[in-house]
Chains A and B, each alone.
Chain A
Amino acid sequence: MEAVIQRAKELLEQGEVKAVLGYAKGTGSARRPHFARQAGQLDKLVMDEACVQNLAVYVTKHEVKKLGKVAVVALPVTQRAILQLMAERQLRDGSLAILAVDDGAVKELDSASALEEHLALKAQVLNAKDKASLADLEAMDQGQRWAYWQKELSRCMKCYACRNTCPMCYCDHCTMDCNRPQWVPVASHGIGNLEYHMVRTMHLAGRCVECGDCGRACPVGIPVHLLTIGAEETVHELFGQRAGHKAKLDYALSTFKTDDKESFIR
């Protein structure tokens, strides 16, 4: 962390960046995002096991963009999200200084191509817990799985915390807020909840960077991240494409390749 703080200090003092986004201590053992706009605010930065949130969700916000160039302390999930956001033209290439922290080491990356190169070096592995949960779901038959999700989603109160914490759910006008026509009802009830989560899953299939923040954000503990991560894994299995790995948009659901496997289309 010393190295990160040192470099961040230089960047701030030389005026290369207007703010540094990282993690600070929150209530209890939790960590919260921290924006340091002066060098003096940098010593609050921490980096430990408890830092899990995908900070990329903040960098697309108008308020943050308005600041100018920002340095981001970036875990691999944050790096992937930033790269995908650049591919989707939500972030300008070069608008961020990325302080990549993987396994203790720090590396400064300031372009999409540098990110792409950096990410290509490491295989993306799903954490053991999510992997096990997905396997459990996979082991169910279709009826059981349907019943499981209906039961889980019946608790959803449509607070949209899952959407708001998702770095890829950056749409200013989410389909859920579209009321002409009102495809998905506003109120929380069985069918509507199911519709919302199916829509979100499809919107993230091939775009989800697998941070799991949506599941963590849910106040009633619905593991909604298993929907999006599950869909992302399926896309990867079928088309070999993954979100957050390419500087140029490479989205399985809007492209085709002549050698795409089609064995699953029946």
Chain B
Amino acid sequence: MSRIGVFTCHCGENIGATVDCVKVAEMCKDIPGVVHSVEYKYMCSDPGQRQMQEAIKEHKLDGVVVAACSPRMHEPTFRRAAGDAGINPYMCEMANLREHCSWVHEKGEATTQKAADLIRVLVEKVKHNEPLHPIKVPVTRTAMVIGGGVGGIQVALDIANGGHKVVLVEKSPSIGGHMSQLSETFPTLDCSQCILTPRMVEAAQHPNITLMTYSEVEKVDGFIGNFKVTVRKKARKLDEHLCTGCGLCIQKCPNKKISDEFNEGLGTRTAIYVPFPQAVPNKPVIDTLNCTYYKTGKCKVCEKMCPTNAIRFDQEDELVTLDIGAIVLATGFKLMKTDAFPEYGYGKHKDIIDGMQFERLASASGPTSGVMKRPSDGRSPETVVFIACSGSRDRAKGVPYCSKICCMYTAKHAMLYKHKVHSGKAYVFYMDIRAAGKDYDEFVRRAIEEDEVKYIRGRVSKIYEEDGKLIVMGADTLMGGEPVVIKADMVVLATAVQSNDRSEELAQTLHVSYDSYGFFAEAHPKLRPVETNTAGIFLAGACQAPRDIPETVAQASGAAAKVVGLFSNEELTREPIVAVVNRQAAPVYSTCVGCFICQGACPYQAIEQEEIMARSGEVIMTLARINPGLCQGCGTCVATCRTKAIDLQGFSNEQLYAELMTL
């Protein structure tokens, strides 16, 4: 016979004002198996908890029901207290008298009765509870960071400085991300390369960091502390160990007219190339789509030039599988292209460019060496129009959200332009100026007041070309919607920040959730912003939502702290609320029939196949087995199994049946 104690809490007025707690405590004394029932004003308070612990000892209780608030609120509190008093923590259950009763009903006899019924149900559950023990899983203390932008670099450095190994996987030939393309950065106008390059080098040289550039994650198996990640190292067509980065091959490559991604199509590069001079690692790759040898079978000039014989035309992609304990996603964003705007000529006007192209024009390392020249004819533009919110906050473009960084970089662009072309005129069309951030509003004011950038609140409905000028037709909503027409030499669209290409595919590979725009979803918008819903996978930077550099770096350090925290344990303890496929004595073995319908239903890939073998080694049957390290206790498999072979520990069929039957 069970010896169960019931502790009814008034929660101040929260429960006490609606439910007659004294009467409830009295009623509970009559439930079979209950040997002790009391009420108290605040069970969660120190004296409340102590009262429970003393009762456990004094009355030799083997189970406890705390009738109070939601278990989401205080289940850990009471389980810990019960555990400290000497019973298995999982023999303590909570009846939710607050959310499920007092908050949703009027004061009255029926409400009090319902409170007593809720407790009766939980008493029945406790009678069928079994002591459970936390699950321990070992941790591989190596992290993987996916994406080598400023966010990924920061995460990698912080974890490495915390004393743990990091593998940094970057899909392009160099780390650096978008920040390496920027000219100067708001709100301080310091040179982007100058502050980023040292970090890139530090990451490359750090003894705890392994760089895997020109690589992509193909497959992720396993679970927190124990992932197995397969990475595809794309063939650079070059032996990285032999290459010294001298660049002779690049100089001699005859194929020089390839549109340059790093310069956003405003410059050209060769078929064997490094994306930019400060690239890390400073080792070229051969672009096989454009290389003459791969197209015609002839050339191999680079091979002849290379002093160390590093070129490998026959190199193949390589698949590497790594043991990883935690993963940080830092894959960044992409910008909407100018061809998404029919009203601005579908991107066919060369002088209508996007923000990143402007960065390259303004950059000292860019195709014009930082001199303002418009792309069509190389003339210095005398009038430039900047259009903020191009595509952002525009449902018709599928981007209802604010891209967050454009207000700031548009002000920066207008300012940089004025600094370079003193006589030039800069106009900014905007919807609102969103410059919340340390020194941000001051920065925008400086553009308007000191650099005399003309801000016009309104939208541009159309741009067309006439006599070598771009005619910008807008409206000034602060002047009653009065039409504004500007003859411009160049137009810069601050196009929307979007989730990166194939981010949904990557999310599916890693089993993390994403929002309807393809940005990775955090576990809680306020309280768990760097975690994903999948344990052991974290987020940093613009892959989660549009972000500027300070925010990216701050979040990156946050994610790194989570990883270092995780790695501070040799083993992880997990709640034992996991599903179990039953096992029985031979010849039954299990009521599982091995249909593996549950396997497809499990959202966490926790269900494995187990072969039951005879002594002879012959496989008698193949049954489902749940990996307790992976199972999140969602119960989906329990509902899917026709033969009820699966039970969720702590919520077994028998427990639920007993609960229902007591009503």
Q: Identify B596's interface contact among A89, A172, A173, CB under 8 A.
A: A89
* CB atoms of B596 and A88 under 8 A apart: yes
CB pair A183–B597 under 8 Å, yes or no, is: no
Residue contact A170 to B640, C-beta cutoff 8 Å: no
CB distance from A19 to the nearest CB of B (A): 22
Tell whether A35 is near chain B: CB-to-CB under 8 Å.
no
Asked if A174 and B595 sit within 8 Å, CB to CB, the answer is no
Cβ–Cβ contact A181 & B596, under 8 A: no
Cβ–Cβ contact B657 & A172, under 8 A: no
Query: What are the residues of chain A within 8 A of B591 when measuring CB–CB?
Result: 172-173, 178
- Contact indicator per residue, chain B 486-505, by CB within 8 Å of chain A (1) or not (0): 00000000000000000000
Q: Is there an interface contact between A181 and B601, defined as CB atoms closer than 8 Å?
A: no
For the complex, give the distance between the alpha carbons of A120 and B654 in Å.
44
For A172, the chain B residues whose CB sits under 8 A away are 588, 591, 593, 643
Complex Cα distance A180/B582, Å? 12
Write out the residue numbers on chain B whose beta carbons fall within 8 Å of the beta carbon of A175.
Answer: 642-644
Assuming the A-B contacts A89-B594, A254-B600, are A173 and B643 also in contact, with contact meaning beta carbons closer than 8 angstroms in the complex? yes
Q: How far is the CA of A181 from the CA of B644 in the complex (A)?
A: 10
The verdict on A180 contacting B595 (CB below 8 Å), with A254-B640, A255-B601 known, is no
State which residues 147-177 of A face B: CB under 8 Å.
170-175
Digitize B574-615: 1 where CB-to-A-CB distance is under 8 Å, 0 elsewhere.
000000000000001001011111101100000000000000
Contact (Cβ within 8 A) B597 A181: no
- Cβ of A208 to closest chain B Cβ, rounded Å: 13
Asked if A113 lies at the interface with its beta carbon under 8 angstroms from chain B, I say no
- Are the C-beta atoms of B640 and A180 separated by less than 8 Å? no
Task: Note all chain A residues with C-beta closer than 8 A to B657.
Answer: 181, 183
Proximity string of chain B (633-658) to chain A, C-beta cutoff 8 Å, 1 when within and 0 when not: 00000001011110000000110011
Return A194 CB to nearest CB of chain B, in Å.
Answer: 17
A203 neighbours in B (Cβ, 8 Å): 642
Check A254–B601 contact: CB distance below 8 A.
yes
- Interface of chain A residues 246 through 266 with chain B (CB within 8 A): 249, 251, 253-255
* Residue A90 lies at the interface, judged by CB distance under 8 Å to chain B: yes
Shortest Cβ gap from B506 to chain A (Å)? 15
Cβ of B140 under 8 Å from chain A: no
Per-residue CB proximity of B108-134 to A under 8 Å, as 1/0?
000000000000000000000000000
Chain A interface SS verdict (over half): loop
Assess the B595–A89 pair: CB atoms within 8 A: yes
B593, B596, B600, B601: the one within 8 Å of A171 (CB): B593
B511 to chain A, nearest CB (A): 14
- Complex Cα gap A171–B644 (Å): 11
- CB-based nearest A residue for B597: A254
Whether the pair A90, B654 counts as a contact (CB closer than 8 A) is no
User: In the bound complex, do residue A90 and residue B595 qualify as a contact, i.e. CB atoms below 8 Å apart?
Assistant: yes
Q: Which residues of chain B are near A181, meaning CB under 8 Å?
A: 653-654, 657-658
Question: Across the interface, which residues of A come within 8 angstroms of B645, CB to CB?
Answer: 173
Known A-B contacts A89-B594, A172-B591, A173-B591; A255 and B642 likewise in contact (beta carbons under 8 Å): no
A-B contact pairs, 12 of them (CB 8 A): A88-B596, A88-B597, A89-B595, A174-B643, A175-B643, A178-B591, A178-B643, A181-B658, A251-B597, A251-B600, A254-B597, A254-B601
Interface residues of A (CB under 8 A from B): 88-90, 170-175, 178, 180-181, 183, 203, 249, 251, 253-255
B residues in contact (CB < 8 Å) with A: 588, 591, 593-598, 600-601, 622, 640, 642-645, 653-654, 657-658
Given contacts A90-B594, A175-B642, A183-B644, 20 further A-B contacts (CB under 8 A): A88-B596, A90-B595, A171-B593, A172-B591, A172-B593, A172-B643, A173-B593, A173-B643, A173-B645, A174-B643, A178-B644, A181-B657, A183-B653, A249-B596, A251-B600, A253-B597, A253-B640, A254-B598, A254-B640, A255-B600
